[in-house]
Chain A
Amino acid sequence: MLLTHAETVALVLSFKVSLVGVACSLPVAVGCAWLLARTRFFGKPLFEGLLLLPLILPPVVTGYVLLIVFGHHGAIGRWLDAAGLSVAFRWTGAALAAAVMAFPLLVVALRNAFESVDRKLENAAATLGAGPWRIFFGITLPLSARGLVAGLALAFARAFGEFGATITFVSSIPGQTRTLPIALYELISTPGGESGALRLTLVAVVIAVVASLIAALMLLRGVTREADA
């Protein structure tokens, strides 16, 4: 089962877009997850709700918002265009769409991972003279590594499968924004495209299964170790 050139381009593009998207999403998600897990502040439920919006809104709506904000003449888009860093109709725009759509999954997974770290250990580290950054990088993060990897796997899968927001924001441009799900959609919509659609579907299934396995493995081993202790 070999993919056609167009299908291969879409597959490679999807990997590029998803990896970059999740990588960019990660620092923001870590910060937000830490705030949710370890701090209290006025308006926290509202903040949480806003973070989960991409999960709840129809992807097309999210894509439309991205278009208004980051497209040409957009509130942020115009500055990007002026700086030569335009994301409209580019793979970077597709990566942004992927990042936004994967973000809530990442925040939820990271928050759970941070909350599972015993605060008593963090307190002990504080009494030993560690400041908040040292506690975070030296204690919280290493002890939440499994949850982190699981979250990344799921977020990657979500980014990889992103369709509605992407096609609404950056349309379908082969080699730039036509990711695997978009290519798949086009093949399904074309009479005679069934065999190509099947090939791409199989690829998508493999990726989804691998992501699930990684996530399950990480979370399962974490649970077993607790049971032993």
Chain B
Amino acid sequence: MSIKIKHFPGEEIETKDFREGKVLFESFHPKAKYAWSAGIAISRFLEELKNGRIIATTCSKCKRIMVPPRIYCEKCFKPTDGWTYVKDTGVINTFSVSFLAADASRLKEPIVVAIINLDGASEGMGIVHRIEEYGDWREIKIGMRVKAVWKPPEERVGAITDIKYFKPLKE
């Protein structure tokens, strides 16, 4: 955007030009399927979720209790040296009230997503999950205490969604 440049290239077209045949294009739909390996740490994490528990790994050098668990501490690069359970309660670190779904379509009822710092893990250690049973979304506050609502044991498969959502704890 220098004053020495008189013309900036680019032929603008509108999205409707595709529909109306004013612009030519090729379409393609890639068929890519994946079987992601959960790895050592998350395989155990998922197994424990099936049992209704949340597990973390510990680094004795950095004195951290980490969730989601991992086999190495990314700060000191030593292998993590223990497993420990953390609670399924915690505090809302931050949250958002979304009127957009994952595919960018508009929602009438919002989805509330939050980072929840779990009790028993190191400070600031959180997982991301949904918040429900909140009543009015304007009442949700950072710092609010929440608890996991689990699927019944027979419906759990070993997935993050074995926890349905977190709900505000009335103290």
> Do A and B associate with each other?
no
On B, residues with C-beta under 8 Å from A are none
On A, residues with C-beta under 8 Å from B are none
